[in-house]
Structure 1
């Protein structure tokens, strides 16, 4: 299936993507905001170079590599997806600090309502800004969101050159190990 056209990407700036939520979530993954490609398709982390879906699979969260169009399967696996900011942009750095702060309040509301065991924010810089934690590092955070434990993961966007897929999958696997401790 061909990807979005240039006109589709322009029109995507006015679109949002529905959250993928359900009861009894183990992890609610929270992206920064939809990229134009994702907004055009209506699927989270949909751009072909995005490594979210491969990292999710390689870390053991999913039994097989899911396509973005299969995102509705996630709640059946105890997983959900949302974004800090609903507005679609070409790059996350187009967002304002005020938008990220408002996103933190929205995410807190979702965590209060859905009560996932973990909230995993994918994007350290966005997390630092949204939650006023300038010194936060990747991994578990000392402060919960509502009653949910918080874990910060690297941004899986192909624009994040600091992490290749293997390193990204290793960070996701650290969270997976915390979610499912050995017996």
Structure 2
């Protein structure tokens, strides 16, 4: 993978609260949803841009893409029927900077987006954020990684592990297995 662009500490701090545009289109096979952009992602305007983030390698290892894409190639995702968005649009240094209220509001916005775009699957990368964003009202409080009972219109929902390098509970290999299970379901 190519090195990430050089960004100064001042540029990172200036990216706090900035938005990263969705890579999405109507009728995608899978719309991947991160928790929120990190500061590097916001500074460079690319999803999952931090070098330690495992989204791009796992996406490839699971068979969603024929080669390892770089964050600066995110606009190729729709070619594969894929897209990416976030539960909360604003960038922060860490996801734990987000309040539960912010995640619930983000869940409402995400549901409206999914109803408009109608992907076959919504894949939320981050089980804790998924539980908070979709809460008791949608039976998500006790959700586990995998296929969910929740549907949004005709869109089915899958909860994935958070690909952040800070998530030590999952390896690249075990994440790739879960992403591959979603890929197989999305191709059925």
Q: Is contact 2:38–2:92 with CA below 8 Å preserved after alignment?
A: yes
Rounded to whole Å, the distance in 2 between the matches of 1:100 and 1:86 is: 10
The Cα shift of 1:24 comes to: 2.3
The Cα shift of 1:3 comes to: 2.4
Which of the numbers 118, 143, 163 marks the counterpart of 1:136? 143
Q: 1:10 aligned to 2:17?
A: no
Q: Counterpart in 2 of 1:168?
A: 175
Structure 1 segments, 4+ long, off by >2 Å, are: none
The Cα shift of 1:112 comes to: 0.7
Q: Is contact 1:111–1:147 with CA below 8 Å preserved after alignment?
A: no
Q: Counterpart in 1 of 2:49?
A: 46
Q: Is contact 1:23–1:75 with CA below 8 Å preserved after alignment?
A: no
Root-mean-square deviation (CA, aligned residues, Å) is: 1.0
Q: 1:121 aligned to 2:124?
A: yes
The Cα shift of 1:14 comes to: 3.3
Q: Is contact 1:56–1:169 with CA below 8 Å preserved after alignment?
A: yes
Q: What residue ranges of structure 2 are gaps of 5+ in the alignment? A: none
Q: Counterpart in 1 of 2:162?
A: 155
Superposed counterparts of 1:22-101, under 5 Å = 22-101=25-104
User: Helix, strand or coil for the counterpart of 1:13?
Assistant: coil
Rounded to whole Å, the distance in 1 between the matches of 2:183 and 2:17 is: 34
Which of the numbers 158, 161, 184 marks the counterpart of 1:177? 184
Give the stretch that moved more between structures: 72-81 or 1-10.
1-10
Q: Counterpart in 2 of 1:102?
A: 105
The Cα shift of 1:145 comes to: 2.0
Rounded to whole Å, the distance in 1 between the matches of 2:187 and 2:115 is: 22
> What TM-score do you get using the length of structure 2 for normalisation?
0.94
Q: Is contact 1:85–1:100 with CA below 8 Å preserved after alignment?
A: yes
Q: Is contact 1:55–1:169 with CA below 8 Å preserved after alignment?
A: yes
Q: What residue ranges of structure 1 are gaps of 5+ in the alignment? A: none
